Chains A and B, each alone.
Chain A
Amino acid sequence: MTSLIRMGRLSFLTIFGIILIYPIIWLISASFKPLPEIFSTVNLIPSRFVITSYINGWKGSGQFGFNTFFTNSFLLVVPTVIATVLSSVIVAYGFARFRFPTKNLFFSLMIATLMLPNAVIIIPSYLLFRNLGWLDTYWTFIIPSMFATYPFFIFMLIQFFRGLPRDLDESAVVDGCNSFKILTHILLPLSKPALVSAAVFQFIWTWNDFFNSLIYINSVKKYPISLGLRMSLDTSSISNWDQVMAMSVLSIVPCLIIFFLAQRYFVEGIATTGIKG
């Protein structure tokens, strides 16, 4: 009986999984196709395998190649991720476990800041960063993330902290822990899945972010991957879509690795120990 369920689960996962990632398989196959074929046929198998799009694409189409763009993306993304997770954890802890005056006001404001589209926020933000002298640097990403300006993660961590019983904090208080120690010794180890998700999301989203990088970064030598990918797309001249496809595939790889490494934390965590005991 259980093996039947297991089989059913496995076959469903496999079939549905193939349907889901078919487009990505197509994308990978397209990156090996000659340029016209990318658009002209929907066939999965290229008529002939072309590897040059990877080689030429890597060189980039100007002074800088994708080694530069990859490095830049890491320089931009890694500090941003670390700063985001650290600041969001602390703030979420404050919201989830303490009752202080103005708490509801600030919580509401936090949720409210999610609701204005980037298109109208970006101009005043730009003027702000200009006055601070941060334009064309990665500080435009890193410093705001040090100050917990990503409500998504705060809200998310609040929800997870609130899923942890307060009895846990209580026993720690009895043991003489201060509030910060409760966070670091009790809550954080139990929230690993949430922390890791936050880090992975922020990594992937910042890695893929186009519009903010476009507005804040001028120098080609500081372009992250998302700008590098689109660097040669033009409406009026030949766009090397074959190279763009190839580099798009490569640009997914770091995100893929990060996710693969991180996902075991979704399995681990508290479930194995049980928190009520």
Chain B
Amino acid sequence: MLKTFGKLSTLSLVMLLAIATILSACSGSNSNAGNQGTAVNENAGQNKDEKVTLRFSWWGGESRHKATLAAIDMYMKQNPNVTIEAEYGTFDGYYQKLQTQLSGGTAPDLIQLDYLWINDLVRQVDLFVDMYTLKDTIDISEFDEQFLRDWAIINGQLQGVPTGMNALTTIVNKSFMDREDIPMHEKWTWEQIIAEGQKLNQKNPKMFLINSDLSTLTEKIVPSYHSQLTGKYLVNADNTLGFDQQSMTETFTFLKSLFDTGVLQPLGESALYNAKTEQNPKWINGETAMTIANVADIPKLRGTAANFDITTTLFPVKENAKSTGINARPSQLIGINKNSKHIEEATKFLNWLFSDKEAILTLGVERSIPVKPSSQELLLANDKLDQVVATSLETALANQAAAPSYMNNNQELMKISNEVIEKVAFGKLTPEAAAAEMIERYEAKLKEIDASTK
């Protein structure tokens, strides 16, 4: 029977020829996703009583599900001809499923999107309806144009409507600060943080001012610090490197000093809680003073912080910074599938979701604080805004700097940053060597990405 394992390869060759025919039959399905601009609004001009079924997919927690379902119910009552099928679930695997569906031409009509992937998705092929072409049906006049340009307009097309606002912030454990007698600055500089953190750690080597988290270092602290240092993020708008050997060495030296001085909890200790700070016992038990997070994460972090008071302060900015490195970003986007058969109806629903008073009140801050000022005021007037969240967002917005270019969120580049930062944090590389590796690998990857974009 062994010989037949050898026969397998021969068979494979024969099958390879056969596959050409199979695939040519099936590739029609693959190219569904790449179908450029063939989506026709079949529903246009049709009878108003025409029954329409829309599929709407999102991920989220329990309260988001409930609020969104309630809003959908309201809409269906007002529009009996429209049925909206909700496809909601976990964030785990959502992206995989979405890509599978887009590939198979079976994606829902309305799709919740993470701004982190949007560029990776539409860099190569058009997938979503340009909202600007739907201006007659959806009112986007109130959305800040710069904000849309920074986060939602790619290839000149508005890929989706931002559901809410998000920004960097520092969550402070007030009880801890009082207990350890740490001053409450209105704004912290990194220099002050290092000084206080070092003092704290020297007093008690088991205490750290900030609990560390690899994803926070990669996505927040390192790029923002670099921007504070040089005024540039890691990748420029033209996809060239925003850093050089010197600036990256300085950034990594700073990072290393955070660990060496005992400001940050050692990475090995928090490795189990990567991107899950709310599960880190150090946070839950109130054993660190601060955590760097997104504004939208506040409710989640507060959810497991049982017995201490929190407040927020601005993300730390170094002395003589060229930029704050802080910017508003969307929590998510909702896009309309280019291959949808009911673009018109989907747009109407989306417009209703973002402009109807009842809808805004029902959704509340389930997808973070809305972008439209009128929606914010409405929620404020109805006491639906979380005070801590609102204040921290306001503080961040007041100190806003230019946004990073889309390529900064590329998942492959993030993976590289992750690895190099880990090596610095674990002391496996000196800042100089790490900077060199960063340059080499970023350059190689950017070249690759460029090649695949064309």
User: A residues touching B (Cβ–Cβ < 8 Å)?
Assistant: 34-37, 39-41, 61-63, 104-105, 107-109, 112, 122-123, 126-127, 130-131, 135, 210-211, 214-215, 218-220, 223, 227, 230-241, 243
CB of B8 within 8 A of CB of A109, answer yes
CB of A108 within 8 A of CB of B1, answer yes
A-side contacts of B296, CB under 8 Å:
236-237
CB of B89 within 8 A of CB of A230, answer yes
Task: Closest A residue to B59 by CB, please name it.
Answer: A234
**Partner of A108 from B7, B62, B86, B294 at Cβ < 8 Å:** B7
B-side contacts of A127, CB under 8 Å:
26, 29-30, 103-104
CB of B279 within 8 A of CB of A39, answer yes
**Partner of B304 from A35, A105, A135 at Cβ < 8 Å:** A35
Docked CA distance A126–B105 (Å): 11
Docked CA distance A150–B225 (Å): 52
Docked CA distance A34–B284 (Å): 13
Docked CA distance A231–B65 (Å): 9
A-side contacts of B55, CB under 8 Å:
218
B-side contacts of A41, CB under 8 Å:
281
Task: Closest B residue to A236 by CB, please name it.
Answer: B296
Docked CA distance A238–B66 (Å): 13
CB of B91 within 8 A of CB of A235, answer yes
Shortest distance from the beta carbon of B300 to any chain A beta carbon, whole Å = 5
Within 8 A of A (CB), among B49-70: 55, 59-66, 69
Q: A62-B86, A220-B87 are in contact. Are A135 and B65 (CB under 8 A)?
A: no
Q: A220-B86, A233-B90 are in contact. Are A62 and B1 (CB under 8 A)?
A: no
**Partner of A62 from B26, B59, B88, B279 at Cβ < 8 Å:** B88
Stretch at the interface among B93-101, B143-151, B194-202, B258-266: B93-101
Shortest distance from the beta carbon of A35 to any chain B beta carbon, whole Å = 6
CB of A240 within 8 A of CB of B61, answer yes
Count: A-B pairs, CB below 8 Å: 138
Shortest distance from the beta carbon of A55 to any chain B beta carbon, whole Å = 14
* B106 interface contact, C-beta 8 A: yes
B-side contacts of A218, CB under 8 Å:
55, 87
B-side contacts of A210, CB under 8 Å:
93
Q: A130-B29, A233-B90, A238-B300 are in contact. Are A61 and B106 (CB under 8 A)?
A: no
A-side contacts of B89, CB under 8 Å:
214, 220, 223, 227, 230-231
Q: A126-B100, A230-B90 are in contact. Are A240 and B62 (CB under 8 A)?
A: yes
Q: A62-B65, A123-B100, A214-B97 are in contact. Are A236 and B304 (CB under 8 A)?
A: no
CB of B87 within 8 A of CB of A61, answer no
A-side contacts of B304, CB under 8 Å:
35-36, 39-40
Shortest distance from the beta carbon of A26 to any chain B beta carbon, whole Å = 15
Docked CA distance A251–B8 (Å): 42
CB of A234 within 8 A of CB of B64, answer yes
Docked CA distance A71–B65 (Å): 22
Within 8 A of A (CB), among B349-408: 366
B-side contacts of A40, CB under 8 Å:
281, 284-285, 304, 306
Question: Given contacts A227-B89, A236-B60, could you give 17 more A-B pairs where the C-beta distance is less than 8 Å?
Answer: A36-B305, A39-B278, A39-B281, A39-B304, A62-B62, A105-B11, A107-B1, A126-B104, A130-B29, A214-B97, A235-B91, A236-B91, A237-B64, A237-B300, A237-B366, A238-B63, A238-B299
